[in-house]
Amino acid sequence: MKKFLLIIVAISAVVVGVYFGFLHNASYSEGVRSGELIKVSHKGILFKTWEGEISQGISGAQIFSFSVLDSEKNVITDLKNMEGQYVQVSYKERYKTFPWWGDTRYFITSVKKVNSPFKIK
């Protein structure tokens, strides 16, 4: 009976490990979005995560919400410095998220400042 229980526990641990490994390494899609960076915040009660929003429309009706992993220190610093400016972000969309990763399935991997197409010349 002990051997059977040990096998069940070992199989369960492997399944959970493979599941978390898959969710951590696999991405559903990758892409680039541009817009005015309107918000960057460090929020949460139990798990503090970095969250932000980009306005992709003139009226602010199209909002792209994203998260940033704590390990992306340079991206977090750049986002804080570029708030209120027109930026282009590269992101990975994951299959699922967890509370300690962030609120959204979109995770920013890089950010750069670009010229706004709405700017009057």
pLDDT higher than threshold 90 for residue 12: yes
**Which residue type is seen at 37?**
L
Q: Residue 79: give its domain's CATH number.
A: 2.40.50.140
Task: Please state, for a pLDDT cut of 90, what percent of the chain lies above it.
Answer: 47
Contacts 24+ apart (CB under 8 A), 10-19: none
What is the reported pLDDT for 10? 92
Number of structural domains (the chain) is 1
Q: How far apart are CA 98 and CA 92, in angstroms?
A: 15
Tens of pLDDT, residues 67-113: 998 888 999 999 999 998 999 999 999 888 888 888 899 999 999 99
Give residue for tokens 């541009």: 34
Average pLDDT, the chain: 87
18 domain-assigned: no
Q: How confident is the model at residue 60 (pLDDT cuts 50, 70, 90)?
A: low
Domain range enclosing 80: 28-113
pLDDT higher than threshold 90 for residue 119: no
- Alpha-carbon distance values, 114 to 34, 65, 69, 78, 119 (Å): 8, 19, 23, 13, 11
Six-digit token string for 96: 């699922």
Q: How many helices (H) and strands (E) does the chain have?
A: 2, 5
